[in-house]
Chain A
């Protein structure tokens, strides 16, 4: 199972390093951005499984903008927003815009880790389902070709047999002649 690739976006340097340190220990691939602007720049040329971003950030580009950009770049990217304690309304607005989840500050690391694990399991399941579908499509295509060939062949054979039958039934023609004509079908 491939490790999740996570982008941590927070203007607070201590938060960034702590999250990077703790999450890297769990074998997640972590990159960081110190502002919304930098996050958008990084997202535009790299895919991330998860973007973990602070909602309120200085610099004109906030968590919502990061969320929208991430989703635009790849529908599969899951975005978790970190909101200030008590600002549920913002969090709910973010969820409506497509955020996967939100966490309130102070971030509980155990909770974050459990949420990421859940996302990882979900992605694993989705990959399994997707692989199954690919296998099914391949099988369906192959058997489809075989069946179609048989279908056309059977139709042609049926036509020939019908022609042969009608010729063999033509009483006005001599039997030996009938056989010759039928075989020519």
Chain B
């Protein structure tokens, strides 16, 4: 390596003045633009609209939620106010903006094996019982059918966690006819769930390294679920506020941490419909901090180890 004759710096390092902003490809100190605020009337308008399209109930006090979640979208649409934004969304025949609003407003907080307990419950109690019952009634030689629904599956981590439990518990999978259905109201979430691909932050949450390496393959900086597990699941957009016609009956339903966003009267309707979609001896699992008391009298809670599940009375 040759040295420069001026100064004592190696030619591989220079102390020149910071290059122009164009060369620095980050804007850590981007100017703070004045953000558009939402007025009380606009909160009412938007809350009502969001309720109509998704059933999500936003309290009037949660103005900050609207600004945080919808602010960027509003800017992208070049709107000068939330009223303008609202009318633009309502008048859009393609419903593209409506879909983007739903994507933005839904809380996509999810992780693999969330709470851990329900998955232990699946492994040690629910799946063994379902397998026993279904194999008793299955035609000899035919694969044993198991239908599981993750209502509000978000970006798919819950469904794939269930798939992993099934794979580890039931081998060979060919002896079973497993149908995992994941549904969510957000198009963007369903899209990502369908890809089965997660970035390094998402993959780190809830997945121990041995499971990561066994069931996922690296795709650049991302990780993609293996084909075998991916093929166990189908994803579709579904609004829990709408009709459940055609969704069929399930052996197991996971409906975790979504009902908390609904008004009580809507929660009652949703769980009533879920009760109709469950096999008579089926199992319902809800969020760790949720309760069906005063919501759906058709269900009875049962405890197993550290978890609670529900069955029809």
Contacts and interface: CB of A to CB of B under 8 A. Distances in A.
Interface size class of B (residues with CB under 8 A): 35 or more
Nearest to A139: B289
Contacts of B308: 148, 151-152
Given A75-B204, A106-B13, A140-B289, A12 B19 contact: no
Interface string A91-115: 0000011100000011111110011
A18 interface: yes
Contacts of A175: none
Interface string A18-34: 11000000000000000
A97 B219 CA distance: 9
A140 B13 CA distance: 51
Interface in A118-147: 118, 121, 126, 133, 140-141, 143-145, 147
Nearest to A143: B289
Contact of A155 (B18, B221, B288, B300): B300
A98 B221 CA distance: 5
A169 interface: no
Interface string B1-45: 100000001111111111100011010100000000000000000
A151 B301 CA distance: 7
B115 interface: yes
B24 A114 contact: yes
| Most interface-central of A12, A108, A114, A118 (chain B CB within 10 A) | A108
Interface residues of A, number: 37
Contacts of B303: 148, 152
A101 to B, nearest CB: 9
A26 B1 CA distance: 28
Interface string B190-220: 0000000000110011000000000000001
A15 interface: yes
B292 interface: yes
3 interchain residue pairs of minimum CB distance: A144-B288, A14-B10, A106-B14
Interface of A: 10, 12, 14-15, 18-19, 75, 82, 96-98, 105-111, 114-115, 117-118, 121, 126, 133, 140-141, 143-145, 147-148, 150-152, 154-155
